[in-house]
Amino acid sequence: MQLCCLTGGVLLLVFFLDNRFRVLPSAIHNHLPIHHPGLVITDITVKQCSSINPLSSCVLDPDVWHRVEKDLYLNTGWVNKAYVHIQRKLEEDLEPEDKVITDVRMGKLDPAIGEKNKGADKWESRNAGIWLKRSSKRHDSDSKRVITAVDVLFGADAVEPRPGWEVKDTPLLLDTSGEMQEARLSVRRGPPMKIENPVPRVRKDGKFKILQVSDLHLSTGIGKCRDAEPPGHNGGRCDADTRTLEFVGKILDQEKPDMVVLSGDQINGETSPDAQSAIFKMAEVFISRSIPYATIYGNHDDEGSLTRAMSMSLTESLPFSLSQPGPNTISGIGNYYVEVLAHSSKHSALTVYLLDTHSYSPDEKQFRGYDWVKPDQIRWFRDTSQTLKEKDEHRHYTHIHLDMAFIHIPLPEYRDTSLQRVGEWREPPTAPGFNSHFKDALVQEGVTVVSCGHDHVNDYCALSRSSPTSSESSSDSHSPNPAGKPDLWLCYGGASGFGGYGGYDGYHRRVRVFEIDTNDARISTWKRVEWGEDDATEKRIDEQVIVEGGRVVGIPGLGRV
């Protein structure tokens, strides 16, 4: 007992000595509970320069300073540019004279004014209204309050969804014009937090609900509304992103989906010079509610500051994200699938396929308009579907397995005016001019419904049927609409964002809900709207059953609506 007490006392003494004086080697020091390896920030400043003065530079000594590669004027300054620079060191390389940053404030006045507990460390002033509290105490470099990373976000509505990060309420004090250019520091305290990927699973009652949110068209900053309805709402003032995200948040709270599919054009490229700020706003509304979400891209997502690959890498790193870039051996970014597991087993109850429909036609002379799903993507889809069906997780599932798909740009088959449909057709579908016959592959692999976005004011589901055989044609010769069996529902999600066009006779923004009942292999769908009379916002619009017993089903008496 004496030996144990002595050993414990020595370890405790060494622990506290190391906390202040770093007496242990790094290999041991970094694994102690209150210590963390990696970089710590020792200084932050802003360097401004003139774009018309060849002797002016926005670069500090690169051996000492690291520059955050975001112009604080978002490249809109006629003359000025400015960049945040940081000094950073590995914790183990800190010298006795080095100081680490334990707090950051923004403002014109010294934050110490009015502080009750000022402490020994004084606030230090830097350019652009930055105030730093720095400490040379050795244990502060290991504390959870030490600043270990710095980023820049933009807009009065900037949010920070990354765990351990916080965005400052007060913007950097720069001579900027307009709300979009409000540059704000975002800082992380302590080491990066590990993010676990969520595993979608059917609820105890056998149901699983997917909310499709399409065409958010978010901006850097609050954005400007287009075709807002009703026109005089809120005294005529309409902040696009604020109203869009309030709508989505309301639906999330009411419908409580198990998963969200973002089916493209989350970002309005031309008004998103910092797409990261827009992506963070999109993600925060789901992360704050602990709802898994999966993303594919539209033709506007990569027209801002980030490419598709960069956006996917960023989104993939955020909490509750199911998004994946997919194989790099096929066309596009974001060709992947999500498995939804049964409630109490490892078996797959539902597979959700997500594919990249790209942007604009690569052959405008022959096929004007938009791009299409490529042959290598279709091969990947077929191979993946066949491989999954052979897995034990699929074969040993005791109920009927279901498959769904989401894309952004509609397939050419959406143009067929002869199809029976439920919902609104307010604009001609802007499907690609070339048909790569992805629809045929979906039917052959047993997908029951595909849903897209892109055309903001179309929100219908159209029933595709297989070509009738000769026997079916003869037996249905007295039917007013002789046709084959239902083989696929072609649905639209409808646009949700006020930053994109609306118009067309008072169209209200909307989202689509899919509810999957795995006990009966049934899929139901309906829409929810942002505005409307007679309690329209509380109702399920055009509710219908589209799959029953694992089979695509029509609606008796359904005609073209």
Which of 160, 189, 218 delimits the end of a domain? 189
State pLDDT tens for residues 460-489: 999 999 876 544 444 444 443 446 899 999
Residue 558 forms part of a structural domain: no
What would the mean pLDDT of 240-251 be, rounded to a whole number?
97
Strands 420-422 vs 461-465: parallel, antiparallel or unpaired: antiparallel
What does residue 147 show for φ and ψ, rounded to 5 degrees? -80, 125
What would the mean pLDDT of 83-109 be, rounded to a whole number?
91
**442 CB-near residues (< 8 Å, 6+ apart):** 381, 405, 450, 488
| pLDDT (0 to 100) of residue 483 | 62
State pLDDT tens for residues 351-405: 999 999 999 999 988 998 999 999 999 999 999 999 999 999 999 999 999 999 9
Q: Please indicate, yes or no, whether residues 211 and 185 belong to a single structural domain of this protein.
A: no
The region of weakest confidence among 116-120, 194-198, 342-346 is 116-120
Q: Please indicate, yes or no, whether residues 509 and 406 belong to a single structural domain of this protein.
A: yes
Give the percent of the chain with pLDDT over 90.
73
State pLDDT tens for residues 178-199: 666 799 999 999 888 888 889 9
CATH assignment at residue 49: 2.100.10
The region of weakest confidence among 29-38, 59-68, 406-415, 426-435 is 29-38
**CB 200, CB 208: distance < 8 Å:** yes
| pLDDT (0 to 100) of residue 254 | 97
The answer to pTM > 0.75 is yes
On the question of pLDDT at 86 being above 90, the answer is yes
On the question of pLDDT at 231 being above 90, the answer is no
State pLDDT tens for residues 484-503: 899 999 999 999 999 999 97
Residue 4 forms part of a structural domain: no
Q: Please indicate, yes or no, whether residues 370 and 328 belong to a single structural domain of this protein.
A: yes
User: DSSP character for 390?
Assistant: H
On the question of pLDDT at 35 being above 80, the answer is no
- What is the rounded distance in angstroms from the CA atom of residue 371 to the CA atom of residue 363? 9
Give the percent of the chain with pLDDT over 70.
89
- What is the rounded distance in angstroms from the CA atom of residue 402 to the CA atom of residue 97? 63
Dihedral sign (CA 231, 236, 241, 243) = negative
Q: What angle do CA 535, 537, 541 make, to 5 degrees?
A: 100
Our measurement of the distance from residue 88's CA atom to the centroid of its chain's CA atoms, rounded to an integer in Å, reads: 30
Query: Where residue 534 falls among pLDDT bands split at 50, 70, 90?
Result: confident
Q: Which two tokens stand for residue 134?
A: 């720095």
Residue 16 forms part of a structural domain: no
On the question of pLDDT at 74 being above 80, the answer is yes
User: DSSP character for 541?
Assistant: E
Residue 10 forms part of a structural domain: no
Side-by-side strand order, sheet with 39-50: 39-50, 80-90, 66-67
198 closest CA partner among 265, 293, 132: 293
Q: Please indicate, yes or no, whether residues 212 and 155 belong to a single structural domain of this protein.
A: no
User: DSSP character for 279?
Assistant: H
| pLDDT (0 to 100) of residue 558 | 67
Residue 444 forms part of a structural domain: yes
152 closest CA partner among 301, 305, 37: 305
Q: Please indicate, yes or no, whether residues 484 and 429 belong to a single structural domain of this protein.
A: yes
| pLDDT (0 to 100) of residue 456 | 96
More confident residue, 431 or 473: 431
Query: Where residue 33 falls among pLDDT bands split at 50, 70, 90?
Result: very low
User: Which residue range forms the structural domain that includes residue 126?
Assistant: 39-189
Which of 161, 189, 217 delimits the end of a domain? 189
| pLDDT (0 to 100) of residue 473 | 47
**CB 448, CB 521: distance < 8 Å:** no
Dihedral sign (CA 529, 530, 534, 535) = positive
Which of 144, 159, 189 delimits the end of a domain? 189
Q: Please indicate, yes or no, whether residues 67 and 185 belong to a single structural domain of this protein.
A: yes
453 closest CA partner among 432, 429, 421: 429
On the question of pLDDT at 267 being above 90, the answer is yes
Q: Please indicate, yes or no, whether residues 392 and 524 belong to a single structural domain of this protein.
A: yes
Tally of structural domains, the chain = 2
The region of weakest confidence among 11-15, 282-286, 294-298, 453-457 is 11-15
| pLDDT (0 to 100) of residue 6 | 81
Our measurement of the distance from residue 265's CA atom to the centroid of its chain's CA atoms, rounded to an integer in Å, reads: 11
Q: Which helix (H) or strand (E) holds 524?
A: strand 522-529
- What is the rounded distance in angstroms from the CA atom of residue 348 to the CA atom of residue 340? 6
Three-state secondary structure readout of 64-108: CCEECCCCCCCCCCCCEEEEEEEEEEEHHHCCCCCCEEEEEEECC
**CB 244, CB 483: distance < 8 Å:** no
| pLDDT (0 to 100) of residue 468 | 66
DSSP string, 141-183: GGSTTSEEEEEEEESTT----STTEEE-SSPP-----SGGG-E
Query: Where residue 69 falls among pLDDT bands split at 50, 70, 90?
Result: very high
Residue 7 forms part of a structural domain: no
- What is the rounded distance in angstroms from the CA atom of residue 123 to the CA atom of residue 365? 63
- What is the rounded distance in angstroms from the CA atom of residue 195 to the CA atom of residue 318? 7
Question: What's the whole-number average pLDDT of the chain?
Answer: 89
Q: Please indicate, yes or no, whether residues 264 and 124 belong to a single structural domain of this protein.
A: no
What is the per-residue burial (b if ≥16 Cβ within 10 Å, else e) of 383-402?
Answer: ebbeebeeeebbeebeeebb
Residue 195 forms part of a structural domain: no
Whole-angstrom CA distances from 191 to 44, 165, 316, 319, 350 are: 18, 10, 19, 16, 37
Q: Please indicate, yes or no, whether residues 148 and 215 belong to a single structural domain of this protein.
A: no
- What is the rounded distance in angstroms from the CA atom of residue 147 to the CA atom of residue 87? 11
Cβ burial of 143 (10 Å; 0-12, 13-18, 19+) is middle
| pLDDT (0 to 100) of residue 469 | 54
Q: Please indicate, yes or no, whether residues 374 and 277 belong to a single structural domain of this protein.
A: yes
- What is the rounded distance in angstroms from the CA atom of residue 385 to the CA atom of residue 381? 6
- In this structure, the chain runs to a length of 561
What would the mean pLDDT of 253-262 be, rounded to a whole number?
98
524 closest CA partner among 467, 436, 448: 448
Q: Please indicate, yes or no, whether residues 223 and 185 belong to a single structural domain of this protein.
A: no
What would the mean pLDDT of 519-534 be, rounded to a whole number?
94
Residue 29 forms part of a structural domain: no
State pLDDT tens for residues 305-317: 999 999 999 999 9
DSSP string, 394-422: HHT-SS--EEEEE-SSPPGGGG-TTSEEE
CATH assignment at residue 390: 3.60.21.10
Q: Please indicate, yes or no, whether residues 167 and 269 belong to a single structural domain of this protein.
A: no
